């Protein structure tokens, strides 16, 4: 036969297999005896895996290519018949092991290289309860003592791949020792990718649930306190009204009774309802337990001997250097490429014909669909499927979206009030009145000419829509709204903690990260090396003490000082870069305005301000979106070099850095327009210049508030639309399409293979990996800043945020259900550091709105004029009061307009917006007393507004209790009921003990009263007396 073909013989079903099998395999003589050692090396993993049930009678296949590669030829062969029934249907296409009974709780994925002979065959081996056998051998393993045939060159061996394989073998062996059951599958439609299916048996689940202190429902049920009287009627009416917008999910229905929960204990299994063990631990809990085992199971070394030779020595040194971190958990193995992915499986398909009902399908229909945008979220089902941490995110997002409804309504009313009163606003009417004939000074040197104030009529009228007395009320309202929102969320969070049995949950210290352990080990080895050099000869006792001391080593601030310094310098540099970009946009605005001012077309000159503002804001938006992605990567790198100890510390530090950089990036252009633009302009004849050529830009005659509104609205809306449509929809779909095309290109041309239905773990592998909740929270926190920080300038911000969030909830839901691999469920009782960030933004919003109202808007100057300078108690004359006069003869040389007769008459005096002395005064162009009066009023308003609103916010915080009264009563009731359960249990034990003692006492008396003549039976009675405790 041709050497490339594979020669197989049928093995008896009871044939033993493994390192101790007979060389003849019970009459099958196609393997020589001296191959046992090679097989022993190559089949090391046989005892770790299982593929087919012991009951299944079939054909067992071994990869004979391994034997052929090491120099042995095969002889006669017998054709194999395929299995009659499809095993994929029995295991529900990957949701169960091949026996159809054991559920797949977790998947490990790795890459391997197939031999050049073609597709590797599957090796399937019987297993029993006592030992699990190997499912598959991906490549021939080099065996000890096997010599190559004469004339054959030594085959090329990839030592990195071998090292990875042996690490996998060791790690998986440790998993089996930890009690997990594994099954390998490399016969998939994805070329070069193998899967290890993991199942946690019942005793492992019980053990780990006790270690993790998981609260599980007991048999004891109790009635939840219901409202009575008027409140009950109100609640029933509300339930009937809101019934159409409730999701059709069993978990969302109001509960009348609740099971008492208690941390699981193997000694107290009688407390729990274990009638259905398969459903007692749901899929989310099972995957969490397996993940905990994967994290703490380590792989300490590779078993492969690298051989001899200079090249191999280099390879060995490289691998030893890589193995210097000592222990490998699943995170380290993923980082080193030993495994390429690790994830729990989704419950099944969410669309298609004949799809079995499952939680994923239900979530897709009742939650992850745009058609149900008006309904409440099934938060309990989300928690059941994805875990508490993701459930809390969507619950918080739902509460935030609900709270935006009243804010949006009030914002619309404020905007409509501005629209209704725009024709009654005296200052804007004066600006639009052409009879006033107010001539304004040029907006730039030489090329700009004098202009009429009435030409800015449209800007003045539009400014009134957002700059009116109602915006002050709206700022106070939004400050109180933020405080109420935080309190409402705390109460909602407590309700969820009660419903989800998290009331007594305290987060334990997480496992140290692999990078942290590597750094600690490196530090201890370095210290040990120095110590050995100093003390080459010292007693063994001293050496042991030294080792114990190095085992307790940890990283100090001195070890992290270079990283801290890099973080500080890096953050300062990034903030400086943001400022530099904003400064560059300012230069663009000034230069573009000067260039457009010399335009030959009148329309170009008249629309200079609108054109410059719009283009500059678009540039800012593009820069913000690009820098957001850059800053996210830089924040992660800066956090990695700090080497935080635990994942929680890593996440908190990453969030803080990313938020700081993205906050500065998003709000710096807005801060510039709100507080700096037009403040440092100077005056005609003495302007402030940048680079001695560009004049600082001024605000429009109606003030900078209108421009602030334009800037805020474009950045907020553009950021949300682009990030939602491009980053959250477009890019994931593009990545999915690219992966699909790559897999299609690699896929075998075999028609039968192509038509075979994919296993669940293959389908999930093609999904996008879960990257954490930080990007989702960050997007919403930045939006929360837009809604609260500058709401005085843009009352419609809550409305646009509400519309965005309605789409965002369903978009994120669809992404989690259909686009992402199922994340590992994480227990959490709150939203963590994000709550503190929200509180900080709420406090900062009060201060910023106070400054926006007092310094950016004309609210304070109007009040000062109305109560100090108005002759008739009205706003007539306000515009003239805010304008100062300038004599055109005082222009600096070369700054006067080139065409002074552009308006058709000679101008002697022009006006500009400022509080300065007139040219006919003794101290001409000096700051006037009116300026100081307005400034004092502005500062006083900031102080009063800030303290008043802060006090009101604290009052709201104090008056609303963090824990709802009914929840605190239910928690107390649970504690009392649990005490009662244990008291009854103790009383039962005492009664049983007393009964046993009484019976023992009576037996003893009966034994002592026996007659001497019945001595033969006496001994039997005594023996029965002594055997009684055993019966008990």
Could you read off the pLDDT of 433-453 as tens digits, one per residue? 777 778 888 887 777 788 888
Confidence of residue 199 (pLDDT cuts 50, 70, 90): very high
Average pLDDT of the residues in 789-793: 85
**Spatial CB neighbours of 64, under 8 Å, sequence gap ≥ 6:** 6, 7, 8, 74
Helix (H) or strand (E) holding 215: strand 215-223
> Could you tell me the two tokens for 467?
């700059």
Average pLDDT of the residues in 416-423: 88
Q: Is the pLDDT of residue 1032 over 50?
A: no
* Rounded Cα distance, 311 and 547, in Å: 34
* Rounded Cα distance, 66 and 55, in Å: 28
**C-beta pairs of 221-226 under 8 Å, 24+ apart in sequence:** 221/257, 221/258, 221/259, 221/260, 222/257, 222/258, 222/260, 222/973, 222/974, 222/977, 223/256, 223/257, 224/255, 224/256, 224/257, 224/258, 224/970, 225/966, 225/969, 225/970, 225/973, 226/256
> Could you tell me the two tokens for 911?
């006006």
User: 10 Å Cβ neighbour count for 891?
Assistant: 18
User: 10 Å Cβ neighbour count for 416?
Assistant: 13
Looking at per-residue pLDDT, the higher value among 749 and 249 belongs to: 249
SS3 216: strand
Q: What is the pLDDT of residue 513?
A: 75
* Rounded Cα distance, 847 and 856, in Å: 13
Most confident region among 756-760, 827-831, 978-982 by mean pLDDT: 827-831
Q: What is the pLDDT of residue 606?
A: 59
- In this structure, what are the phi and psi dihedrals at residue 528, rounded to the nearest 5 degrees? -65, -40
Looking at per-residue pLDDT, the higher value among 308 and 836 belongs to: 836
Comparing 67-81, 290-304, 638-652, 860-874, the range with the smallest average pLDDT is 67-81
Q: How far is CA 420 from the centre of its chain?
A: 45
> Could you tell me the two tokens for 685?
């004849």
Q: Is 92 left (phi over 0), alpha (psi -120 to 50) or beta?
A: left
Q: What is the DSSP string of 927-943?
A: BPHHHHHHHHHHHHHHH
Average pLDDT of the residues in 952-969: 86
**Spatial CB neighbours of 645, under 8 Å, sequence gap ≥ 6:** 512, 513, 516, 554, 555
Average pLDDT of the residues in 530-537: 67
Q: What are the residues facing 193 on neighbouring strands?
A: 111
* Rounded Cα distance, 494 and 497, in Å: 5
**Spatial CB neighbours of 958, under 8 Å, sequence gap ≥ 6:** none
* Rounded Cα distance, 449 and 446, in Å: 7
Q: Which of 281, 244, 292, 320 is nearest to 103 (CA)?
A: 281
Contact 891, 685 (CB under 8 A): yes
* Rounded Cα distance, 31 and 70, in Å: 13
SS3 969: helix
Average pLDDT of the residues in 133-157: 39
3-state SS record for 25-88: CCCCCCCCHHHHHHHHHHCCCHHHECCCCCCCCCCCCCCCHHHHHCCCCCCCCCCCCCCCCCHH
Residue entry with tokens 């960050």:
778
Q: Is the dihedral of CA 529, 534, 536, 541 positive or negative?
A: negative
> Could you tell me the two tokens for 390?
């993701």
Confidence of residue 412 (pLDDT cuts 50, 70, 90): very high
What does the pLDDT look like over 49-99, one tens digit per residue? 444 333 333 333 333 333 333 333 333 333 333 344 455 555 666 788 888
3-state SS record for 241-263: HHHHHCCCCHHHCCCCEEEEEEE
Helix (H) or strand (E) holding 565: helix 557-597
Q: Taking all residues of the chain, what is their mean pLDDT, rounded to a whole number?
A: 76
> Could you tell me the two tokens for 443?
């907006």
Contact 384, 286 (CB under 8 A): no
Give percent of the chain above pLDDT 70: 76
Contact 367, 377 (CB under 8 A): yes
User: 10 Å Cβ neighbour count for 494?
Assistant: 21
SS3 113: coil
- In this structure, what are the phi and psi dihedrals at residue 571, rounded to the nearest 5 degrees? -65, -45
Contact 345, 95 (CB under 8 A): yes
> Could you tell me the two tokens for 969?
């009563």
**C-beta pairs of 526-535 under 8 Å, 24+ apart in sequence:** 527/553
Q: What is the DSSP letter of 883?
A: E
SS3 217: strand
Average pLDDT of the residues in 278-284: 88
* Rounded Cα distance, 272 and 315, in Å: 55
Contact 378, 804 (CB under 8 A): no
Q: Which of 369, 577, 336, 473 is nearest to 791 (CA)?
A: 473
Confidence of residue 569 (pLDDT cuts 50, 70, 90): very high
Residue entry with tokens 């897999």:
743
> Could you tell me the two tokens for 883?
């304008």
User: 10 Å Cβ neighbour count for 752?
Assistant: 7
Predicted TM-score (pTM) of this structure: 0.80
Residue entry with tokens 């001695």:
692
Q: What are the residues facing 682 on neighbouring strands?
A: 687
Confidence of residue 385 (pLDDT cuts 50, 70, 90): very high
Q: Which of 110, 4, 15, 115 is nearest to 61 (CA)?
A: 15
**Spatial CB neighbours of 4, under 8 Å, sequence gap ≥ 6:** 117
What does the pLDDT look like over 715-726, one tens digit per residue? 888 888 887 667
> Could you tell me the two tokens for 228?
């009575």
651 exposure class (CB count in 10 Å sphere: 0-12, 13-18, 19+):
middle
Structural Rg of the chain based on CA atoms: 39
- In this structure, what are the phi and psi dihedrals at residue 689, rounded to the nearest 5 degrees? -120, 145
């Amino acid at each position: 036969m041709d050497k490339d073909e594979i020669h197989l013989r049928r093995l008896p079903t009871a044939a033993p297999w493994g390192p101790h099998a007979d060389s003849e395999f019970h009459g099958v003589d196609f393997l020589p005896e001296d191959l046992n050692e090679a097989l022993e090396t190559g089949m090391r993993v046989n005892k770790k895996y299982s593929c087919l049930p012991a009951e299944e009678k079939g054909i067992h296949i071994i990869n004979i290519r391994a034997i052929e590669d090491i120099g042995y030829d095969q002889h006669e062969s017998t054709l194999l018949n395929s299995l009659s029934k499809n095993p994929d249907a029995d295991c529900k296409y990957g949701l169960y092991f091949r026996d159809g009974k054991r559920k797949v709780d977790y998947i490990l994925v790795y890459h391997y290289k197939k031999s050049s002979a073609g597709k590797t065959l599957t090796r399937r081996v019987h297993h029993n309860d006592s030992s699990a056998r190997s499912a598959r051998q991906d490549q021939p393993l080099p065996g000890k003592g096997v010599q190559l045939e004469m004339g054959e060159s030594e085959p090329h061996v990839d030592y990195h791949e071998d090292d990875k394989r042996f690490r996998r073998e060791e790690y998986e062996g440790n998993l089996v020792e930890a009690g997990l059951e594994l099954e390998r599958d490399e016969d998939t439609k994805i070329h070069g990718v193998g899967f290890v299916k993991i199942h946690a048996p019942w005793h492992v689940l019980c053990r780990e649930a006790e270690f993790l202190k998981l609260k599980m429902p007991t048999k004891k049920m109790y009635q939840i306190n219901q409202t009575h009287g008027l409140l009950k009627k109100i609640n029933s009416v509300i339930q009937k009204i809101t019934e159409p917008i409730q999701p059709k999910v069993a978990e969302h229905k109001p509960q009348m009774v609740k099971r008492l929960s208690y941390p699981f204990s193997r000694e107290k299994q009688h407390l729990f309802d274990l009638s259905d063990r398969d459903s007692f631990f749901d899929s989310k809990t099972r995957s969490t337990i397996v993940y905990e085992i994967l994290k703490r199971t380590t792989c300490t070394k590779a078993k492969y001997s690298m051989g001899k030779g200079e090249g191999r020595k280099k390879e060995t040194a490289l691998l030893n250097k890589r193995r210097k971190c000592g222990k490998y958990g699943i995170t380290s193995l993923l980082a080193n490429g030993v495994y390429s992915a690790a994830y729990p499986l989704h419950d099944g398909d969410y669309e298609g014909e004949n799809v079995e009902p499952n939680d994923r399908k239900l979530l897709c229909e009742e939650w992850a669909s745009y058609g149900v945008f008006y309904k409440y979220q099934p938060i309990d089902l989300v928690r059941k499927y994805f875990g508490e941490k993701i459930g809390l995110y969507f619950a918080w997002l739902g509460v935030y979206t609900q709270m935006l409804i009243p804010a949006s309504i009030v914002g619309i009313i404020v905007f409509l009030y501005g629209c209704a009163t725009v024709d009654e606003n005296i200052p804007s009417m004066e600006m639009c009145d052409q009879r006033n004939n107010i001539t304004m000074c040029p907006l730039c040197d030489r090329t700009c000419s004098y202009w009429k104030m009435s030409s800015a009529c449209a800007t003045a009228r539009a400014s009134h829509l957002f700059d009116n007395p109602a915006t002050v009320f709206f700022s106070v309202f939004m400050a109180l709204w933020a405080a109420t929102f935080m309190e409402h969320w705390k109460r909602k969070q407590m309700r969820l903690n009660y419903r989800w049995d998290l009331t007594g949950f305290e987060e334990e210290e997480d496992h140290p990260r692999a990078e942290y352990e590597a750094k600690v080990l490196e530090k201890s080895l370095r210290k040990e090396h120095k110590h050995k050099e100093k003390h080459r000869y010292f007693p063994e006792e001293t050496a042991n003490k030294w080792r114990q001391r190095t085992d307790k080593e940890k990283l100090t601030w001195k070890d992290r000082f270079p990283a801290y310094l890099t973080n500080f310098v890096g953050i300062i540099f990034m903030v400086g870069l943001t400022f530099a970009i904003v400064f560059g946009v300012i230069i663009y605005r000034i230069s573009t305005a000067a260039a457009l001012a010399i335009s030959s077309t009148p329309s170009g000159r008249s629309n200079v301000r609108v054109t410059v503002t719009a283009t500059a804001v678009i540039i800012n938006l593009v820069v913000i979106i690009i820098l957001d992605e850059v800053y996210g990567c830089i924040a992660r790198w800066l956090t990695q070099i700090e080497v935080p100890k635990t994942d929680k510390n890593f996440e908190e530090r990453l969030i803080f850095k990313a938020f700081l950089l993205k906050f500065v990036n998003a709000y710096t252009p807005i801060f510039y327009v709100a507080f700096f633009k037009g403040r440092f302009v100077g005056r005609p004849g003495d302007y402030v210049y940048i680079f001695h050529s560009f004049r600082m830009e001024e605000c429009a005659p109606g003030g900078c508030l209108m421009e602030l509104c334009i800037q805020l609205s474009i950045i907020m809306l553009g950021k949300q639309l682009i990030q939602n449509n491009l980053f959250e929809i477009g890019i994931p779909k593009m990545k999915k399409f690219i992966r699909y095309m790559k897999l299609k290109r690699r896929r075998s041309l075999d028609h039968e293979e192509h038509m075979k239905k994919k296993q669940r773990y293959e389908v999930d592998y093609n999904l996008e990996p879960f990257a954490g909740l930080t990007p989702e929270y960050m997007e919403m926190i930045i939006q929360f800043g837009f809604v609260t920080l500058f709401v005085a300038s843009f009352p419609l911000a809550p409305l646009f945020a509400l519309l965005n969030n309605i789409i965002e909830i369903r978009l994120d839901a669809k992404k989690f259900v259909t686009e992402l691999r199922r994340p590992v469920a994480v227990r959490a009782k709150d939203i963590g550091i994000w709550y503190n960030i929200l509180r900080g933004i709420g406090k900062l919003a009060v201060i910023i709105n106070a400054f926006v109202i007092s310094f950016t808007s004309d609210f304070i100057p109007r009040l000062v004029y109305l109560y100090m300078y108005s002759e008739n108690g009205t706003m007539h004359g306000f515009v003239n009061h805010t304008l100062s006069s300038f004599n055109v003869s005082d222009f600096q040389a070369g700054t006067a307009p080139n065409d002074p007769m552009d308006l058709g008459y000679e101008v002697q005096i022009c006006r500009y917006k400022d509080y300065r002395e007139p040219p006919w005064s003794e101290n001409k162009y000096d700051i006037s007393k009116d300026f100081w009066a307005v400034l004092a009023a502005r500062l006083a308003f900031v102080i009063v507004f800030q303290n008043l609103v802060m006090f009101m916010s604290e009052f709201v915080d104090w008056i609303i209790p963090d824990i709802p009264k009914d929840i605190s009563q239910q928690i107390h009731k649970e504690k009392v009921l649990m005490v009662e359960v244990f008291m009854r249990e103790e009383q039962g034990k005492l009664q049983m003990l007393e009964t046993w003692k009484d019976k023992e006492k009576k037996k003893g008396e009966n034994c002592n009263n026996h007659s001497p003549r019945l001595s033969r039976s006496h001994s039997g009675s005594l023996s029965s007396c002594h055997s009684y405790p055993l019966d008990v």
